[in-house]
Amino acid sequence: MGWLSVAVGMVSLLSLVHSVTGIGANWGTQATHPLKPETVVRLLKDNGIQKVKLFDADYDSLRALGKSGIEVMVGIPNDMLASLASSMKAAEKWVAKNVSTHITTNDVNIRYVAVGNEPFLATYNGSFLRTTFPALQNIQSALIKAGLSNQVKVTVPLNADVYESSTTLPSGGDFRANIHDLMLAIVKFLSDNGAPFTVNIYPFISLYIDPNFPVEYGFFDGNSSPVNDGGTSYYNMFDANHDTLVWALQKNGFGNLPIIVGEIGWPTDGDENANLNYARRFNQGFLSHISGGKGTPMRPGPVDAYLFSLIDEDAKSIDPGNFERHWGIFTFDGLPKYPLNLGTTNSGSLVPARNVQYLERKWCVMKPSARLDDPQVASSVSYACALADCTSLGYGTSCGGLDSRGNISYAFNSYYQKHNQLDGACKFPGLSMITKIDPSTGSCKFEIMMQPYYGGAGQRLGSLQMLLGLVSGLLFLLTVM
Ligand SMILES: *[C@@H]1O[C@H](CO)[C@@H](O)[C@H](O)[C@H]1NC(C)=O
Ligand SMILES: *[C@@H]1O[C@H](CO)[C@@H](O)[C@H](O)[C@H]1NC(C)=O
Ligand SMILES: *[C@@H]1O[C@H](CO)[C@@H](O)[C@H](O)[C@H]1NC(C)=O
């Protein structure tokens, strides 16, 4: 082998390593009509996404990931922490069923178990403070017992609110006072077991809760006036927030603990700051920011991160805000929302999901003859919105420009599509009708739902819920008629 071919060989080896450390994505499944798991895995592969983070251990999703080579972080939902904390047997069963089986019989490349999801979030009122660490310990013991502790590492995805800064500068970083000892115990445990710290960082939320947040500091264009921390300049919130964690770790003796950014992203709808332009700017800015492997001022080197998220989920709780159902870089049906270069494909553009099957091209809208002051309007709309999805209505959203009739039609159609275009789901008393003319205008898209898929257990549950929803819907329509 000549020098040239050695050099070429090394370059391709490097690019191979690079592709494995490339960007990951969060794959959540809280949707009324999720894409088939096989379709999602194909979508990941087509887009060169080599790492995926799940929020549970859904059997069909994991099976579909088998033999793909994609690195997987499986999740344990918070509501399972108590039982896993109190019973070693339960932890062993969880690992046997949700990790070992998939590795040995389905050839799934499971690399991490995420124990809980942001369990110390202030809004949970401390509900998971006592169970998270024991559950983490039990899962780790179960992995050791199963002989998997070298290839599968435990971690706890935490919200960035587990640390704070006394000075507002990164160098003032330390763990939140009321959970300081607990955080230290967890950090020591992760360090002892060669496991990473996982943190979710959201400049969008900072902007959402604080109208005075300097918008430019949320992005990566370097347009904001830098924050000076003892001679180090911070030009964006991500670096500053990330380094507040690095300082917190360092101060407590764990300055070298690996960090995974478990979630990072920007939503596209449901709020005036959630739009395609900002989402593209943030995500592309972040990808470019980390692409050189330059890292942050306190942690030079590659950043290991998972975009939040891959696909929109129309059944997520909107307690955090109406934007919560719109974090995907792809729409619910796997279409790219905006140009984004993940740096993982030759084309540099997102590849849509393949072979998506839609329902017929028809919509449920308000009858032209129906009157806006009809006394049934308000209750019909609130009923439809409660069971379907009206998060694209409202100030600054994609359908925020609709008039009252448009609003009502949007709500009716959302309900109709979620119920698979069943005739009974477009029977709002004297108010609704089915049309084949697309009511979409400008940025406001009246969706056509995908054909439901009845593959796995989760889907069967979903369709049962939907059936129940429809029965209660019919009851509602009967009572108001
Ligand atoms: C495996 O994970 C699934 C999905 O999160 C969960 O419902 C199930 O209870 C787990 N199995 C065991 C044995 O804990
Ligand atoms: C937390 O406490 C508040 C106020 O007491 C309550 O409204 C909320 O439902 C609680 N949340 C949880 C997750 O328990
Ligand atoms: C349309 O609905 C949204 C959300 O419910 C509301 O904020 C807005 O005022 C409505 N617009 C009209 C013209 O009725």
Region 207-232: mean pLDDT is 95
- In a 10 Å sphere around its CB, with 0-12 CB exposed, 13-18 middle and 19+ buried, how is residue 461 labelled? exposed
Q: Which residues line ligand 1 (CB under 6 A)?
A: 56-58, 93-94, 97-98
Region 185-204: mean pLDDT is 98
Q: Does the pLDDT at position 1 exceed 70?
A: no
Region 206-235: mean pLDDT is 96
pTM across the whole model: 0.91
Nearest ligand by distance to the CA of 386: 3
Contact 42, 353 (CB under 8 A): yes
* Rounded distance between C-alpha atoms, residue 48 and residue 20, angstroms: 9
pLDDT at 213: 95
| SS3 label, residue 227 | strand
Helices (H), 21-159: 37-46, 59-65, 81-86, 88-95, 101-104, 132-145
Q: Does the pLDDT at position 466 exceed 60?
A: no
List 173's β-bridge partners, or say none. 165
Q: Does the pLDDT at position 459 exceed 90?
A: no
Name the more confident of 467 and 337. Answer: 337
pLDDT at 122: 87
* Cβ neighbours of residue 8 closer than 8 Å, sequence gap 6 or more: none
Evaluate: CB of 393 within 6 angstroms of ligand 3.
Answer: yes
Region 253-271: mean pLDDT is 98
Q: Does the pLDDT at position 356 exceed 70?
A: yes
* Amino acid identity at 18: H
Q: Can 263 be counted among the known catalytic residues?
A: yes
Nearest to 186 by CA among 233, 244, 128, 232: 128
Domain ranges of the chain: 5-325, 363-480
263, 313, 324, 447: which one is catalytic?
Answer: 263
Q: Tell me, in angstroms, the distance from the centre of ligand 2 to residue 103's CA.
A: 39
**149 upstream amide cis, omega within 30 of 0:** no
**Cα–Cα separations (whole angstroms), residue 115 to 82, 165, 169, 176:** 11, 26, 30, 20
Region 207-236: mean pLDDT is 96
Evaluate: CB of 381 within 6 angstroms of ligand 3.
Answer: no
Q: Which residues line ligand 2 (CB under 6 A)?
A: 124-125, 127
Nearest ligand by distance to the CA of 319: 2
Strand duo 363-366 + 432-435: pairing: antiparallel
Q: Which of 62-66, 184-188, 476-480 has the lowest mean pLDDT?
A: 476-480
Long-range contacts of 468-472 (CB under 8 A, 24+ apart): 469/387, 469/418, 469/419, 470/419, 470/422, 470/424, 470/425
Using one digit for the tens of pLDDT, what is the confidence trace for 404-441? 999 999 999 999 999 999 999 999 999 999 999 999 99
Using one digit for the tens of pLDDT, what is the confidence trace for 140-182? 999 999 999 999 999 999 999 999 999 999 999 999 999 999 9
Evaluate: CB of 404 within 6 angstroms of ligand 3.
Answer: yes
Q: Tell me, in angstroms, the distance from the centre of ligand 3 to residue 379's CA.
A: 14
When computed from its CA atoms, the radius of gyration of the chain, rounded to whole angstroms, is: 24
pLDDT at 112: 98
* Rounded distance between C-alpha atoms, residue 120 and residue 339, angstroms: 35
DSSP code at position 278:
H
Region 209-232: mean pLDDT is 95
Q: Tell me, in angstroms, the distance from the centre of ligand 2 to residue 122's CA.
A: 10
Q: Does the pLDDT at position 16 exceed 90?
A: no
pLDDT at 453: 80
71, 92, 118, 447: which one is catalytic?
Answer: 118
Where residue 461 falls among pLDDT bands split at 50, 70, 90? Answer: very low
CATH number of 5-325: 3.20.20.80
Tokens, residue 367: 């009858």
CA 239 remoteness from chain centre: 21
Atom of ligand 1 minimally distant from the CA of 90: 14
Where residue 292 falls among pLDDT bands split at 50, 70, 90? Answer: confident
Q: Can 360 be counted among the known catalytic residues?
A: no
| SS3 label, residue 330 | strand
| SS3 label, residue 441 | strand
pLDDT at 294: 92
* Rounded distance between C-alpha atoms, residue 75 and residue 437, angstroms: 43
pLDDT at 455: 58
Can 5-325 and 363-480 be said to share one CATH topology? no
Phi, psi for 169 (deg, rounded to 5): -95, 155
pLDDT at 228: 98
For domain 363-480, say whether CATH 1.20.58 is its number.
yes
Closest CA to ligand 1's atom 10: 94
**309 upstream amide cis, omega within 30 of 0:** yes
| Residue of 56, 74, 98 best suited for mutating to test ligand 1, as the one with most atoms within 8 Å of CB | 98
Please count the CA atoms within 13 angstroms of the CA of 169 that sit on its side-chain side. Answer: 14
CA 410 remoteness from chain centre: 25
Atom of ligand 3 minimally distant from the CA of 395: 7
Q: Which of 20-29, 54-63, 96-105, 213-222 has the lowest mean pLDDT?
A: 20-29
| Residue of 27, 30, 87, 97 best suited for mutating to test ligand 1, as the one with most atoms within 8 Å of CB | 97
Report the sign of the C-alpha dihedral through residues 440, 445, 451, 457, in that order. Answer: negative
Region 78-98: mean pLDDT is 98
Average pLDDT, the chain: 92
* Rounded distance between C-alpha atoms, residue 92 and residue 147, angstroms: 12
Q: Does the pLDDT at position 401 exceed 60?
A: yes
Evaluate: CB of 394 within 6 angstroms of ligand 3.
Answer: yes
